[in-house]
Amino acid sequence: MLKKIVVIGPESTGKSTLCERLALHYGTHWCPEYAREFLLTNGMEYTYDDLLVIAKGQLAKEDEYSSMSQGGTDPEENRSMLFIDTDMYVMKVWSEFVFGKCHPWILQQVVEREYDLYLLCNTDLPWVSDDLREYPDPVTRDNLFRMYQDIMINQSTPWQLISGSDPEHRFQTAVQALDHWNKS
């Protein structure tokens, strides 16, 4: 059975890099964040309604990668894990932080979607600017991190904090957590 591991946290915390490295390490797939694709195509002037479009695009991409990871009818293509860069908790935090509300469809998906493990990336990596990132301020980043941490504490799926300013240390922490989790 495919195990879904979601990597979440504020922007510029190494989520995509971690997903890619973990997928390579475990010989499996990772599902990129749809929001980057959407914003590169449509620009940064997004609306509340755009976040619903992004959320639906993210889940469609997740379903596509889940199907690909399960290999269809070819058991040789079956992967045991899928690393997912972003889920509906991220969409919830984004919506509430920017617009003060979240679309009910996103909240329903938070309830309906099931994952096996979360890796929560801390903000202790140096900020890396790009055209799609909005919050370089350390106070804002810490506030966003606390929002994610509160969500993790108040939900039932196991989770692991990924911290440290060295990407290699963060990767090793994630591998240790995954190996321990896989044994239990």
| Residue ranges making up the domain that contains 103 | 3-183
In this prediction, residue 130 carries a pLDDT of: 78
Find the CATH number of the domain harbouring 41. 3.40.50.300
| Rounded distance between C-alpha atoms, residue 7 and residue 111, angstroms | 18
pLDDT lower than 70: segments of the chain? 71-79
**Locus of tokens 């309604």:** 49
d(CA 77, CA 93): 35
* Distance in angstroms (rounded) separating the CA atoms of residues 141 and 69: 33
**C-alpha–C-alpha distance, residues 66 and 130, integer Å:** 29
Q: What local confidence, expressed as pLDDT, does residue 71 receive? A: 61
Q: How many domains does the chain have?
A: 1
Distance CA 38, CA 52 (A): 12
- pLDDT recorded at residue 81: 94
Task: Please give the model's pTM, rounded to 2 decimal places.
Answer: 0.92
> Cα–Cα distance between 109 and 91 in angstroms, integer?
10
Tokens of 14: 């190494």
Residue 10: helix, strand or coil by DSSP?
A: coil
pLDDT at 133: 73
